[in-house]
Structure 1
Amino acid sequence: MIFRNCAVYKNGNFEKSDLFVENGIFTDSSSGPVIDLSGMYVMPGFVDSHAHILGVGQKCEHLNLEKICSQEELFQLLIKQDKKIILGRGWSEQTLGGYPDKKMLDKIQKPVVLTRKCGHVAVLNQSAMNLINMYKEDGIFKEDELEKIRGRLNNEDAERLFKIGEEEFLKHGVTFVHSDDLHGLSWDELKRILKKSRIRIFEKLHFSRIEDLERFNEFGVLTERVYVKGVKIFADGSLGGKTAYLSKPYADEKSYRGMCLANSQQIERFAEICSRKKVQLCIHAIGDAAVHEVAMALKNYPKNRLIHAQLIDEKDLKYLKDTYFCVQPHFAFEDQELISRRISKEFYGLKYDFLKLFKEGYRVTFSTDAPVSPHDPKYVIEAALRMGFHLMDAINLYTYASSETTGLRNIGKIEIGYAADFAIYEKNPLKLEDDPIAVYVHGEQIWQKA
């Protein structure tokens, strides 16, 4: 396949060139169909290094609560729903004025499950608790409890939701997602869905227990585009849900420091098994105390991944020099109010200082953490520019660098020998204003603007 007369992105600029693709790879010559792209721009496909494809599909289908500003507004929205089980996500204390009121939710005579924006806290009414046979007086469930809830509520068409999420990423020029979709599904069900994926995927499987990881023997290349070579565990929760694990008590608490979901010994055990199975360990850690546990565990296990790392004690960095940092620049701006309200003034470490990490040579990649935040790369890159990153660096951290963290070094650039994953734009995409009109993965057009 030959693409004529296009402006091709290379190292921060566009160069007029022809592109040749054979067997899904960029080559120096080709035969076959010729496509004239005069006046068009070609960018490498974006690589989101941490997101949830199924979660994005769910966000599109569930109630979006991000703009609900009062308990009464929430109640009026909920009573209008005709679904047998009401699932909503996106509330936060700032917008809603607190947690959803369980007494109010109990007035609704059907199960209601409302998940906080961060995905680490949910409020259930009495009908929902009766349905899943899990009970809390205040209806508030956190962290691992949500895994059980998802499993017991698994009555959705996961394949359809996955396709919706996949479509959402493609329309923004994302061709590769390091996804995390096992929550609430069986491995057999997820595997069936992944085999049909059009988008390129590095799947991180979530294991709560070490023995489950020990028994699992299906890591590898599932299809030409799907690599099941990652393991996801949690060292803590979220700052918004007040479950991130901090070295100092929360500013609005006397002694509470959050939740340590995995200590250094447990993380090191996971790392040892992952090393033996030749897969990458990806650890969610937001609070500085959680990052410390990760640092102690990974100092002898290089090339694993630390996801989020929003608060860091600089003393721990020396142990993380061979670790990949998967970060979200937009959180530095989304969380400003949380930082001032939740973080003690006695904390002197790094606060969302991803630019410092990058400048000091740490291996940084960008991601959205969608559906927590918008799944649009432009949103992330704009935040990175506000933070002080150069545009060329931001694009690299969202393309080749993100792919390289998986060990795949032939994805994320438009160069001979690289996978032909790219997007075509009518206008200059470096202005961060427009989405593509067509997207190719492995040389195949899999999405086109309607």
Structure 2
Amino acid sequence: MKSFLTALAVVATLASCSNKKQVDTIVYNAKVYTVNTAFDTVEAFAVQNGKILALGKTDDIKGEYSAKEEIDAAGKAVYPGFIDAHAHFYGYGQSLQAADLRETKSWDEVLKRLIDFAKAHPDGWLIGNGWDQNDWTNKAFPTNEQLTALFPNRPVFLNRIDGHAAIANQKALDDAGIKQAENLVGGDMLTQNGKLTGVLIDNAVALVESKIPSPDAKLAEKIFSDAQANCFAAGLTTIDDCGLDWRAVEFVEKLQKENKLKMRLYIMLSDNAENYDYLFSRGAIKTPRLNVRAFKVYADGALGSRGACLLHPYTDMPNKSGFLLKNIKHYEDVAAKIASGGFQMCTHAIGDSANRVILNIYNKVLKGKNDKRWRIEHAQVLNKNDFDLFGKASIIPSVQPTHATSDMYWAGQRLGQARLKDAYAYKQLLKQNGWIPLGTDFPVENINPLLTFYAATVRQDASGFPKNGFQKENALTPEEALRGMTIWAAKANFEEKEKGSLEVGKLADFVILDHDILKSTPQNLLKTKVLKTYLNGEKVYEAK
């Protein structure tokens, strides 16, 4: 009798299993932030063919489905894959091949790092990235005499942290054919006692940078591969790469077709004639991993190098107000052209004057509320009278919270306290349309999206400075910050129906963290680690 009952139980179990629907993956025993409209949390979900099939309680999901792979989240928090709404994916990969000059505390430290890097990389141009004179005791721009003395026969080119300034040695200037300062629209060559210092601002940078040989196919593949590995480790599953040319797009397509590049990319083409001709001829590009339908335009430079275009002079340099990088007619013509093709215009604007110019042009072209989702990238310093220009024409402010906490030490010196109050004003900008996408601008900032969350909600640096937060009235709530890194970032790319939240029918892009960032203290936010990252239900990163 006992053996009969045992056999009966086995049969019942087998019958139960056979009645379950087979899926690829089940995630269970989790706290899943779906980031749907109601901001619901669930315990489990099932994945089939790279998409979310069902969500609910662990018992219900496991009772209805059986899977090839079951992931016990052990009570950890699960989020939609993080989306960086403004970054430079290829540029970040390039920076990994160059001398790292970030967080240097003096020009002497820059030179020391460069000497060490040159020993291991003895050939070709010597490239470095990430110096910032605002972090040094002597905050003046450096000059290139020591660079030239150290490397008299090798061209040296060192990008400032924001990419809007650089310093070149004499050999690099010679190779670029630069013998004396030139008058440039939207650029500057700094001089001292009538002699070039090697410091180039905005449009002057390209005069030397354009002479650096392009990477071959092998190195280009490594650049993308290295960037992808680090981004997956940070929980990122989609990156907006702001400003590539059409050749890079075709190389990305090739790598993705060969399954050598899995990262989802939203690529904005740079503002030049070749790129307009290419996309207008080919049309918008949309695959599961690639989306190309936008153009990246630059209105001005950066605040740190005083290239941001201001309505009134810089407080700490009254003879400068920054500059637009092109004349206003260029922006008007580009806006009309992009609108005629039905594409998205995304314009870098830092200063209040640059923002006003672009906002007025957008409003003239867009003519009121719309769903074209034209974007202002950074929207960093605004005049108080211009905020409503975002809402009037449904213009998206695409912002980077870590810029606020990086700049807060010196931004007041540049702008003065009255003007600073309307800078980095993310809460005010959120109110314009009811949503706001968040990014990092990496490699200008760290790629870690958890630092974006921290900066957006806490508005302090890692040491807890300032005590009450930097202009805390413009902090976002934890829910708003998470939406900005997921569903709102997807919406800025016209992708909210396929990603950005964990809902039935959407892509199974998700990340498992060791802390619940929605319930965490500020101190624990900075300690939070990515445990696993999944793309299409496939594990692409696991912490060692």
Same fold (TM over 0.5): yes
Are positions 1:330 and 2:402 aligned together? yes
Look up the match of 2:349. Answer: 285
Equivalent in 315, 318, 325 of residue 251 of structure 1: 315
CA positional deviation for 1:437 = 2.5
Partner of 2:205: 146
1:426 Cα deviation from its structure 2 partner:
4.4
Q: Secondary structure at the match of 1:312?
A: coil
Q: Percent identity between the aligned chains?
A: 25
Which residue of structure 2 aligns with residue 415 of structure 1?
Answer: 503
- Aligned residue identity for 1:75: L
Distance 1:183 1:148, change over 3 A: farther
1:319 aligns with 2:389: yes
How big is each residue's C-alpha offset from its partner over 1:317-376, in whole Å with a ceiling of 9 and x where there is no partner? 332210011111222221123322211466476111111222454541111010111111
Distance in 1 (CA, whole Å) between partners of 2:444 and 2:33 is 30
Partner of 1:37: 72
Write the letter of the residue equivalent to 1:350: D
CA distance in 2, matches of 1:126, 1:86: 13
Native 8 Å contact 1:248 1:347 kept in 2: no
CA contact (8 A) 1:295 1:320 kept: yes
Q: How many residues end up aligned between the 2 structures? A: 449
Q: Taking structure 1 as reference, are residues 215 and 103 closer, same or farther at Cα in structure 2, changes over 3 Å only?
A: same
Correspondences of 1:22-421 after superposition (within 5 Å): 22-28=48-54, 32-39=67-74, 40-80=76-116, 81-82=118-119, 83=121, 84=123, 85-96=125-136, 97=138, 98-107=140-149, 108-109=151-152, 110-136=154-180, 137-156=196-215, 157-180=219-242, 182=244, 188-189=250-251, 191-193=253-255, 196-209=260-273, 212-214=275-277, 216=279, 217-221=281-285, 223-299=287-363, 300-301=365-366, 302=370, 303-321=373-391, 322-344=394-416, 347=419, 350-386=422-458, 387=472, 388-410=475-497, 411-421=499-509
The match for 1:10 is: 34
Equivalent residue in structure 2 for 1:21, among 47, 67, 71 = 47
Aligned pair 1:442/2:529, yes or no?
A: no
**Alpha carbons of structure 1 residues 192 and 257: separation in structure 2 relative to 1, 3 Å:** farther
Quick one: structure 1 residues 20 and 93, their matched pair in 2 at CA, closer, same or farther if it must change by over 3 Å? same
Structure 1 or 2, whichever has the larger Rg, is 2
How far is 1:194 from its partner? 5.9
- 1:260 aligned counterpart, secondary structure: coil
Q: Which moved more, 1:214-223 or 1:294-303?
A: 214-223
Aligned-residue offset at 1:186: 5.5
User: What value does the CA root-mean-square deviation take over the aligned residues?
Assistant: 2.6
Structure 1 CA distance for aligned equivalents of residues 211 and 66 of structure 2: 53
Q: Which runs of 4+ in 1 moved over 6 A?
A: none
Output the CA distance in 2 between the equivalents of 1:26 and 1:426: 22
Structure 2 unmatched ranges of 5 or more: 1-23, 55-63, 181-195, 459-471
Match of 1:178, SS state, is strand
Distance in structure 1 (CA, Å) of the matches to 2:147 and 2:445: 26
Bigger RCO of structures 1 and 2 (CA < 8 A, at least 6 apart)? 1
Relative distance call for 1:366 and 1:230 in structure 2 (3 A) is: same
Listed one character per residue, the Cα deviations across residues 251-298 of structure 1 (whole Å, up to 9, x for unaligned) are 133332101124554323222222232321110000000000111111
- Cα 1:344–1:284 change in 2 (3 A) is same
Give me the TM-score of the superposition, normalised by structure 2. 0.76
